[in-house]
């Protein structure tokens, strides 16, 4: 359970900082988005190394806050939430490399134990 809380805290901190740096534009529209995304992928891999990690849960909790940040920024910038379902699909697809890295690092750590 500690891994889940850590993933959610790290994701919230990472995406909140990225969203803050993007203000007043949406997070998708600024160069800060891609370095934050890369950092989230690497964090997913690191979380996969922990002994009691669950890669799917941890990766999901790591990327869940980005949906909140994107939704809040869309509303604050006067945009429409009509593209929110497409944004959810984009987040899931873009998070697949993180999930793959988390699974691979989890398998590697399990093999070393």
Confidence at 103, pLDDT banded by 50, 70, 90: very high
List the structure tokens of 12: 């919230």
Task: Please state, rounded to an integer, the average pLDDT across all residues of the chain.
Answer: 89
Helix (H, G, I), strand (E, B) or coil at 13: helix
Compute the half-sphere exposure of residue 44: CA atoms within 13 Å on the CB side of its CA.
27
- For residue 105, give both structure tokens: 């690092």
CA distance 23 to 17: 10
Question: Distance (Å, rounded) from C-alpha 58 to C-alpha 47?
Answer: 7
Q: Where are the domains of the chain?
A: 2-112
pLDDT (tens digit per residue) in 29-84 = 888 889 999 999 999 999 999 988 999 999 999 999 998 888 888 788 777 777 78
- The whole-model pTM stands at 0.88
**Contact (CB, 8 A) for 94 and 38:** no
Q: Which residues contact 46 (CB under 8 A, 6 or more apart)?
A: 105
Specify the pLDDT at position 29.
Answer: 80
């Amino acid at each position: 359970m500690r891994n889940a809380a850590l993933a959610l805290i790290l994701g919230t901190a990472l995406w909140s900082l990225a969203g803050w740096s993007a203000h007043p534009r949406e997070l998708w529209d600024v160069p800060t988005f891609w370095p934050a995304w890369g950092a989230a992928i690497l964090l997913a891999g690191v979380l996969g190394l922990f002994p009691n990690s669950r890669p799917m849960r941890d990766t999901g909790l790591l990327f869940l806050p980005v949906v909140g940040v994107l939704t809040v920024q869309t509303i604050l910038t006067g945009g429409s939430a009509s593209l929110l379902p497409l944004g959810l699909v984009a987040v899931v697809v873009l998070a697949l490399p993180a999930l793959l890295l988390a699974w691979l690092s989890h398998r590697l750590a399990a093999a070393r134990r």
